[in-house]
């Protein structure tokens, strides 16, 4: 008897459940994160206080204007649920609507057009507020150098605002430990030279550390620069495996971020498979918008201890990629930090099969070594699996692999 499972598919573009079928002889185990209770009225309450900081309303008192830097569409928080409360607090503190600007902290990513802005922020906010995209090459100011000596170039509109706030998700990140906090400033609203200097260690062998914010030099540099350019408060959001809001933390750029990280570690904690599987399926949702984000699906495999897959096994990467190949001013093809994909050494020879049915082979090869087969159809994936592991296999499925953190089981 064959086994059927479903995966969340297409963050921001339907967020549907896509069915998959395993052949007879394949034993399925779903490995889901722990999750948490969805918030509703609690969101407004969370913004009326401040963690190790005055509230947003108190910070707004007497200020001439404000810039709210927010994450882009490659990140999971449903800001249309969060931003109305943030903006209400700023207005209650005395900053008029026409003196509040929303800045898309896209770092090296592509700018958002109006349809994408409406998806991310909600149509009412797009109609009522000045919403602008950051550009990493233009409209920058020089704010000196960091303690490590890297140049600090930051968005001019952000730099010149009287009150600076950052809003975004807290999800695992292979270099900064977790997203959110000061990361909305660096890389979010920084110039390309600052981005390159901060990110270059990540492609030259120095790793900040997935799930590590406590002694992470990359994170510390981000926080130093955010403090240097005047970030006063953050609103950080923890989402569950379907992008529902399960935590909101407002306040000091470091202390509120650490509180959000603690909640994220609870929500994303995942028990490893009961038995060492022959195959793991790592689904790229909620970072499945574009191919250049799909590598985050490996986060779950790298989050704790030995790889949760037997030697000689296979890894299936599934990704919707409704926005196609994607764009990145640093890590995209022909950009200054791009590296031609190679075999992933930490997988120790295990096969990788890429299932991104919306994309061309050329799109897949932007992020995956040409020794890894790309199969646009699910039957093609099954044929590859039979060749790699045979007709009987244990299969562990991680439905939202970029945000899942494997627990250590004694």
For the chain, what are the domain ranges?
A: 3-31+271-406, 42-266
Cα–Cα distances (Å) from 156 to 84, 103, 198, 216, in that order, read: 25, 11, 19, 28
Q: How confident is the model at residue 410 (pLDDT cuts 50, 70, 90)?
A: low
Cα–Cα distances (Å) from 147 to 78, 198, 224, 356, in that order, read: 35, 12, 8, 42
Percent of the chain scoring above 90 in pLDDT: 94
Cα–Cα distances (Å) from 31 to 18, 219, 251, 277, 302, in that order, read: 17, 29, 33, 12, 15
| Beta strand spans in 65-115 (E) | 66-70, 100-104
33-46 mean pLDDT = 94
C-alpha to C-alpha distance for 247 and 130, rounded to whole angstroms: 27
Say which range, 138-152, 202-216, 377-391, has the weakest mean pLDDT: 202-216
Residues 63-96: tens digit of each pLDDT: 999 999 999 999 999 999 999 999 999 999 999 9
Q: Is the pLDDT of residue 180 over 70?
A: yes
Q: How many CB atoms lie within 10 A of CB 1?
A: 4
Q: Which fold has domain 3-31+271-406?
A: 2-enoyl-CoA Hydratase; Chain A, domain 1 (3.90.226)
Q: How confident is the model at residue 202 (pLDDT cuts 50, 70, 90)?
A: confident
Q: Is the pLDDT of residue 208 over 70?
A: no
Locate tokens 């062998």: which residue? 205
Where is 42: in which H helix or E strand?
helix 42-47
285-292 mean pLDDT = 98
Domain 42-266 = CATH 3.40.50.2300: no
pLDDT in the model for residue 207: 55
Q: How confident is the model at residue 307 (pLDDT cuts 50, 70, 90)?
A: very high
Q: Is the pLDDT of residue 297 over 70?
A: yes
C-alpha to C-alpha distance for 177 and 221, rounded to whole angstroms: 13
């Amino acid at each position: 008897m064959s086994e059927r499972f479903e995966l969340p598919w297409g963050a921001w573009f339907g967020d549907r459940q896509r069915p998959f079928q395993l052949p007879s002889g394949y034993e399925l185990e779903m490995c889901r994160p722990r999750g948490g209770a969805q918030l509703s009225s609690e969101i407004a309450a969370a913004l009326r206080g401040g963690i190790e900081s005055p509230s947003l309303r108190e910070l707004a008192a007497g200020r001439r204007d404000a810039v709210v830097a927010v994450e882009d569409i490659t990140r999971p928080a449903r800001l249309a649920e969060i931003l109305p409360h943030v903006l209400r607090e700023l207005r209650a503190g005395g900053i008029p609507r026409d003196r509040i600007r929303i800045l898309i902290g896209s770092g090296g990513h592509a700018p958002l057009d109006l349809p994408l802005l409406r998806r991310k922020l909600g149509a009412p906010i797009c109609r009522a507020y000045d919403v602008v995209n950051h550009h990493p090459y233009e409209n920058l100011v020089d704010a000196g150098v960091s303690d490590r000596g890297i140049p600090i170039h930051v968005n001019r509109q952000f730099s010149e605002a009287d009150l600076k706030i950052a809003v975004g998700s807290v999800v695992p990140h292979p270099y900064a430990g977790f997203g959110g906090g000061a990361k909305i400033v660096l890389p979010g609203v920084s110039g390309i030279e600052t981005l390159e200097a901060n990110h270059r260690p990540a492609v030259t062998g120095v790793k900040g550390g997935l799930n590590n914010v406590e002694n992470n030099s990359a994170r510390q540099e981000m926080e130093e620069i955010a403090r240097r350019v005047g970030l006063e408060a953050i609103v950080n959001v923890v989402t569950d495996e379907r992008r529902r809001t399960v935590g909101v933390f407002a306040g000091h750029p470091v202390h509120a971020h650490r509180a959000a990280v603690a909640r994220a570690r609870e929500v994303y904690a995942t028990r490893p498979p009961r038995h060492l599987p022959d195959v793991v399926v790592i689904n790229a949702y909620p970072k499945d918008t574009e191919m250049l984000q799909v590598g985050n699906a490996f986060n779950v495999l790298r989050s704790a201890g030995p790889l949760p897959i037997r030697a000689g096994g296979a890894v299936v990467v599934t990704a919707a990629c409704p926005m196609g190949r994607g764009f990145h001013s640093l890590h995209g093809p022909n950009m200054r930090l791009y590296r031609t994909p190679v075999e992933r050494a930490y997988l120790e020879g295990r096969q990788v099969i890429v299932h991104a049915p919306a994309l061309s082979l050329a799109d897949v090869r932007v992020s995956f070594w040409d020794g890894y087969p790309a199969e646009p159809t699910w039957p093609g994936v099954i044929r590859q699996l039979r060749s790699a592991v045979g007709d009987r296999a244990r299969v562990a499925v991680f439905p939202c692999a970029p945000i899942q953190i494997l627990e250590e089981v004694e």
